[in-house]
A and B are shown apart, each in its own frame.
Chain A
Amino acid sequence: RKEVEQDPGPFNVPEGATVAFNCTYSNSASQSFFWYRQDCRKEPKLLMSVYSSGNEDGRFTAQLNRASQYISLLIRDSKLSDSATYLCVVNDNNDMRFGAGTRLTVKP
């Protein structure tokens, strides 16, 4: 079983749609969780840290369920500029473990 698994995607959605990405992780002792965004041929950029209580930043909402070892990212009112690959990242004792990424394309 992979350490971090994400929805395979790709997701193709119209502008304004709401889209949700899911991610599961295998190590119950994992300490911190992140969503990164990676544009084509660029480095990943931190989108959000994911806290136990859930957190929201504008159109983006991240949730963590430690019991189910599950992380989610919800994007509301999607924009063309949201098109990118979204990486679920789990920190295991200072080792960052990446999901394979989910490709999102938002179309006009």
Chain B
Amino acid sequence: GAVVSQHPSWVICKSGTSVKIECRSLDFQATTMFWYRQFPKQSLMLMATSNEGSKATYEQGVEKDKFLINHASLTLSTLTVTSAHPEDSSFYICSAGETSAYNEQFFGPGTRLTVL
């Protein structure tokens, strides 16, 4: 399958700082990438759809000014958690897929964020 990378894989930061997470499609171009958040023992929750060259589409209840998404190229989307607080501690995962009739999605390895 296609390869999606994420960086960093884990980060610990102080409350009030901003954290940027990168998601890259390594062997294909992705006009759309997706960002998810997963709390312990829960399923993935879609946060936003990242669209190359245009604004991201956020799910209801996700603050767009808090979670800034930039999709500047066909292989890179970034998620910035601004002014992070302990309740933002979670596992953040991105996904992307090649354009196909079936739309399989491939996931990055995830970023574990801990806000102290």
Contacts and interface: CB of A to CB of B under 8 A. Distances in A.
Given A42-B109, A95-B46, A96-B34, A49 B95 contact: no
Interface string A16-48: 000000000000000110100000011111100
A94 B103 CA distance: 7
Interface in B90-108: 91, 93, 95, 102-108
Interface string A55-92: 00000000000000000000000000000000101010
B43 A100 contact: yes
A82 B98 CA distance: 27
Tell me the dominant secondary structure on chain A's binding face: strand
B107 A45 contact: yes
Interface residues of A, number: 21
Residue from the set A34, A41, A44, A94 with the largest chain B CB neighbour count within 10 Å: A44
A44 B34 contact: no
A87 B43 contact: yes
Residue from the set B95, B103, B109, B110 with the largest chain A CB neighbour count within 10 Å: B103
B42 interface: yes
A44 B32 CA distance: 18
B70 to A, nearest CB: 20
Residue from the set B91, B102, B109 with the largest chain A CB neighbour count within 10 Å: B102
Given A43-B110, A96-B95, A91 B43 contact: no
- Which 3 A-B pairs rank lowest in CB-CB distance, beginning with the nearest? A43-B107, A100-B43, A43-B110
Interface of A: 31-32, 34, 41-46, 49, 87, 89, 91, 94-101
